[in-house]
Structure 1
Amino acid sequence: MPAAPADFIRAHTRLDVPPCVPEIRLHLADDVVALWEQTEAELRRSGLPPPFWGAAWAGGQALARYLLDSPETVRGRTVFDFASGCGLAAIAAAKAGAASVTANEIDEYAIAAIGLNTAANDVTLSCVHGDVLDRDPPDAAVVLAGDICYDKAMVDRVLPFLERLRERGSEVFVGDPGRAYLPKDRFEALAVYDVPVPEMEGVEVRRTTVWRVP
């Protein structure tokens, strides 16, 4: 019988700090590809999505660094972190003084990882499990989205969602490490960071920008 998601995460990761955000501790994998293989082997299923929750991706690190350096962005405000992964940006928002933070993920293992990482950082946030792109936009003053432009189909779904949020009055921030599908002409650059990234990226550092939907 497969281990519960939280037990699996504890067994296959270790508490570590992201290079750009040493204020935050996360359950991270040494090798995300190996973690992916372990997940498929334990669940006895192939074709599972990558365990994005097992790494501190560049977009999330950049967003987290930006929020901790500019806490007025979220202080006293409600925050929604779309496709939260390991919860890094959401945890940074909580540490920066957000009134409330909600993290969203479609992967139950990511939800479990966010719970473990939240506890490791002594902050409180809530989670929404599932695909929210076709639902009514969340009621949040600030929306965060890190590393969402890795795939054209994903961008085609996410961008209208983010623009609906902006039209409704939310401030929308995107962290992106130069992915090909980012429509830069529809964003405003706020800050740039050189972020060390997991080995599976094929490079050691990615120049990563925090963008805002104007």
Structure 2
Amino acid sequence: MNPPDAASFIIAHTALARPPLVPEIELHLATEITPIWQATEAWLAETGIEPPFWAFAWPGSQALARLILDGVVPVAGRRVLDFAAGGGLAAIAAARAGAALVEAAEIDPLALAATRLNATHNRVPVREAEGDVVGAARRWDTVLAGDVCYEAPMTGHIMPWLRRLAADGVEVLLADPGRAYLPREGLVAVARFSVPTTRELEDRDKRDVTVYRVGG
């Protein structure tokens, strides 16, 4: 899927909306899960694209964005990575808060296209981090990871790298809404939020999200 096709697909299957915890930022979001999931499956058969996780403002990303916009996590003048960025909510918050450089890391081309659209709509610069950044040496001051511990293989793949970055002096913040594979050691809670969600995506109307600082 080339970028123009991706942008057209996103615009056709989403609406501009504001996440409940971060009403300052407007994103291209799915209003219902089933239609966009079915539409994406048509692309999946030909392109191998992931399901449309980018089309929803997940609780972890909302919590990180809220902390950044409230100044609890200072990013002004810093180099920031939004890892597994989805539609780029945390990245956009960091750019609005004065980060010197913001990169969004995603392996899904539709997610990267959504991030580009969302950043342009919010009039902030967000760059794409090239390729799979897991294992990359330090080039950021702050790394944001929202809702990433949802599968054992994913957690096992990323956590050693995040811990190495933290040991090298990077501020690594992980926001988790109670996923099963969150590791318990080496995490220090810095904030908690109750984030409204939808039963189309979750098994409850709200998710309690904890933001942790990852230790090296």
Range class of TM-score, shorter chain:
over 0.9
Code of the residue aligned with 1:113 in structure 2: it is A
2:162: which partner in 1? 162
The Cα of 1:138 is off from its aligned counterpart by 4.3
Take 1:48 and 1:22, find their aligned partners in 2: how far apart are those partners? Answer: 29
Question: What residue is the counterpart of 2:79 in the other structure?
Answer: 78
Unpaired runs of 5+ residues, structure 2, are none
Aligned residue in 2 for 1:180: 180
Aligned equivalents of 1:129 and 1:16: distance in 2? Answer: 28
Q: Which amino acid letter does the alignment assign opposite residue 143 of structure 1?
A: V
Aligned to 2:209: 208
Corresponding residue number in structure 1 for 2:114: 113
Q: Which residue of 2 aligns with 1:53?
A: 54
Please name the residue that 1:30 is paired with: 31
The answer to whether the 8 Å contact 1:106/1:129 transfers is: no
- CA displacement 1:50-107 (0-9 Å, x = unmatched): 2111000000000000111126521111101111001000001111111110011000
CA distance in 2, matches of 1:52, 1:72: 25
Give the share of equivalent positions with the same residue, in percent. Answer: 50
Q: Distance in 2 between matches of 1:100 and 1:71?
A: 19
Deviations 1:115-157 (A, max 9, x none): 00001111111012432214x2340000000110100110001
- Whole-angstrom distance in 2 between the partners of 1:142 and 1:171: 5
Contact 1:107–1:129 (8 Å) recurs in 2: no
1:149 aligned onto 2:144: no
Q: Give 1:49 deviation, angstroms.
A: 2.4
Q: 1:144 aligns to what SS in structure 2?
A: strand
Give yes or no for the alignment of 1:98 onto 2:131: no
Contact kept? 1:66, 1:210, Cα under 8 Å: no
Unaligned regions of 5+ residues in structure 1, if any? none
In the aligned structure 2, how far is the partner of 1:101 from the partner of 1:161? 19
**Which ranges of 4 or more aligned residues in structure 1 deviate by more than 6 Å?**
none
Which residue number corresponds to residue 8 of structure 1?
Answer: 9
* Segment drifting more, 84-93 vs 183-192: 183-192
Kindly indicate whether the alpha-carbon contact (under 8 Å) linking 2:40 and 2:51 is maintained by their aligned counterparts in 1.
no
Whether the 8 Å CA contact 2:79–2:140 is kept in 1: the answer is yes
TM-score, L = length of structure 2? 0.92
> Match of 2:195?
195
AA matched with 1:167: A
Q: Helix, strand or coil: the match of 1:195?
A: strand
Any conservation in 2 of the 1:176–1:210 contact (CA below 8 Å)?
yes
Please give the root-mean-square deviation of Cα atoms over the aligned residues, in Å. Answer: 1.9
Question: CA–CA distance in 2 between the matches of 1:128 and 1:83?
Answer: 10
1:33 shift after superposition: 3.7
| 1:132 corresponds to | 133
Between 125-134 and 37-46, the greater mean CA deviation after superposition: 37-46
Task: Figure out how many residues of one structure are paired with residues of the other and give that number.
Answer: 213
Query: In the alignment, residue 19 of structure 1 is paired with which amino acid?
Result: P
Secondary structure at the aligned position of 2:123 is classed as coil
